[in-house]
Amino acid sequence: MKQRWEIKKLGDIVTFKSGYTPKDYELSGVGDVPYYKVSDMNHELNTKYLHHTSLFLKDGCKSFPKHSIVFPKNGAAIATNKKRILTRESVVDLNTGIICVSNPYTLNYEYLYLFIQNIDFRLYTRRGAVPTLDSAELKSLPIPVPPIAEQKKIVAELDCLSGIIEKKKQQLKELDNLAQSIFYEMFGDPVENDKGWEQKTIGSFSKCVAGATPSTKVKEYWDGGTIPWLSSGEVGNGRIYATEKHITQEGYDNASTKLIPPHTVVMALAGQGKTRGTVGVAEIPLCTNQSICSIITNDGVNVDFLYYQLRYLYHELRDISNGDGGRGGLNLKLIQGFKVLVPPFDLQQEFASKIESIEKQKELIAQSIKETETLFNSRMDYYFN
């Protein structure tokens, strides 16, 4: 099939345009042409279509056709490859961004969307005070161009896999909500403590341990490592059975990180976005970085009970973070002094028993998501690399 595909330079079949920064008098709170700032893209985490904006351009201002593909061209989103590549179904304008417009007779816009989604922007970035995409390099990228009918088949296949992944993620959310509702039914609101349970500080029934990071400049600390090492961004995965990185015994011996026992609650002390205050359960022995607190409980507090309670108290944990404007961080002292409900242990155990089957279902679904994502990535690699 691929033998009949043409290979062309992206810039030869796609029009690249820059966004537009209008004058104040050109903007309005109502109108027909939505105007997007790059920050508006952050509202669209689970869709490829832009929907959220409060600004509109007045008649006669620069705009772009429907099915344009837009993405940031500078800033931290480029440096970390945390891009937002989104299409629109109506005219759109965007500040500080790049707009790609394809010829519909040559290139299906959803096929182009998938191709751009597969690009690692970090490879095409000019470094400086503000990282900026190199448009010339992007235009020189080779893009496989099968017949339009085959492009649509590729889009349909990959959209099907994406749909399966999203449905399974929704199932996980529903199971999470079910477990959280069981907690609420048994113990009430842990913020209000409307059932009058005893409250204790976390430090009174647990040992709180922070991790550390072996020097990344010493390859002997990392290369070929077998000791799981958890980063803050992975805490939000919930039940943790594997980590992205591993350290060697030499790395472990030359850092202050500690090996924590399995079935331990872990909490992110710092991190970008929503990371700070997230909790998970390390189900394997592992080490963590310095921005994670491992809460090793005694026999009087059930780990699953504590995990679900701390998930419920996410906003309260963020509120006690030090620093101004929500930019601070948690620390061991704050966590140790944080009060939680401690009802009778037999009730905690009863809760853990009730959610055991839910957790098993979640594990199966999470594994299925991982397998489908692997298949999706392999098909993306086949078609576009």
d(CA 22, CA 294): 49
Whether the CB-CB separation of 203 and 336 falls below 8 Å is answered with yes
- The residue written with tokens 């085959």 in the block is 150
Which residue numbers in the chain have pLDDT < 70? Answer: 1, 3, 31-32, 38-52, 59-63, 75-97, 271-272, 322-328
CATH code for the structural domain at 198-342:
3.90.220.20
Helix, coil or strand: residue 270: coil
Backbone angles phi, psi at 64, to 5 degrees: -130, 155
DSSP string over 11-30? HHHEEEEE-----GGGEESS
Which pLDDT belongs to residue 259? 96
Tell me the pairing of strands 14-18 and 125-126: unpaired
Which pLDDT belongs to residue 246? 96
Continuous segment of H or E residues that includes residue 199: strand 199-201
Nearest to 193 by CA among 342, 347, 50, 366: 342
DSSP string over 59-128? TTS--B-TT-EEEE-BSHHHHTT----EE-SS-BEETTEEEEEE-TTT--HHHHHHHHHT--GGGGEE-S
According to DSSP H, which parts of the chain are helical? 10-13, 76-79, 109-117, 135-139, 148-187, 202-205, 249-253, 303-312, 314-319, 332-336, 345-384
- Which residues have C-beta within 8 Å of that of residue 216, sequence separation ≥ 6? 222
**pTM confidence score:** 0.75
CATH code for the structural domain at 2-146:
3.90.220.20
Residue 97 to residues 128, 147, 324, 372, Cα–Cα distance (Å): 18, 29, 31, 32
Amino acid, single-letter form, for residue 65: P
Which pLDDT belongs to residue 228? 96
Q: Is-same-fold flag (2-146; 198-342)?
A: yes
Amino acid, single-letter form, for residue 262: P
d(CA 137, CA 160): 31
Nearest to 17 by CA among 138, 124, 118: 138
Domain range list for the chain:
2-146, 148-186+344-385, 198-342
Whether the CB-CB separation of 202 and 242 falls below 8 Å is answered with no
Residue 172 to residues 107, 198, 279, 297, 358, Cα–Cα distance (Å): 36, 31, 16, 27, 10
11-66 confidence digits (pLDDT tens): 999 888 877 777 777 777 776 677 777 666 655 444 566 666 777 777 656 667 77
d(CA 171, CA 162): 14
Structure tokens at 260: 């924590």
User: In angstroms, how far is the first alpha carbon of the chain from the final one?
Assistant: 15
